[in-house]
Amino acid sequence: MLRFLLPIIFASTVLLAQPFKVHDTIAPFSLANQFDVKKSVGKNLKLLLVSFEKSTGAEVNEFLSKQPAGFLTQHQAAFIANISGMPMIITKMFALPKMRGYPHQILLIYDENDTRFMQKEGKTTLYKLNNGVIQDITFITKEQLPQVFN
């Protein structure tokens, strides 16, 4: 029995390790936010911003903090910060308390094995979606953030 299950387990692990590409469908998923509340991301999402670095996360947070309440919801958008490289003690003592002060929701990736999102050094990854299907993937700077929501 195990002999038959191992190839299936291996194949599913390999598939999960591949980053999303244009035309892939993102199945609904859940991540914890900065308040440790699980939030679901579904097919209604049109924009997905993903940050992998402290600096790019700070840029997105600065931009979003200046927007009106409900800005991400209004634009059918979500912001994800991959904090898997941060030591847990730093996360708990400093990062999460700071994130809880932001007026917008930040979904968090804690698992370093979560490689479904593409990254480029010094950039925020922007996924444009239509009914859960990735239409475009771009890597943006803080100067480009305002145009994303126009």
Count of domains forming the chain: 1
At 25, the pLDDT band (50, 70, 90 cuts) reads very high
d(CA 115, CA 138): 17
Average pLDDT, the chain: 91
d(CA 141, CA 124): 6
pLDDT in tens, 68-126: 999 999 999 999 999 999 999 999 999 999 999 999 999 999 999 999 999 999 999 99
pLDDT given at position 1: 53
d(CA 42, CA 97): 27
- For residue 60, what are the domain limits? 2-148
Q: For the whole model, what pTM was predicted?
A: 0.87
Instruction: Name residue, tokens 């914890």.
Output: 32
Residue 59 backbone phi and psi in degrees, to 5: -65, -45
Mean pLDDT, to the nearest integer, of 27-40?
96
pLDDT given at position 17: 62
d(CA 96, CA 4): 43
Q: What is the CATH number of the domain that holds 113?
A: 3.40.30.10
Please state the length of the chain.
150
CB atoms within 10 A of CB 89: 8
CB atoms within 10 A of CB 113: 10
Per the CB < 8 A criterion, the answer to whether 66 and 142 are in contact is: no
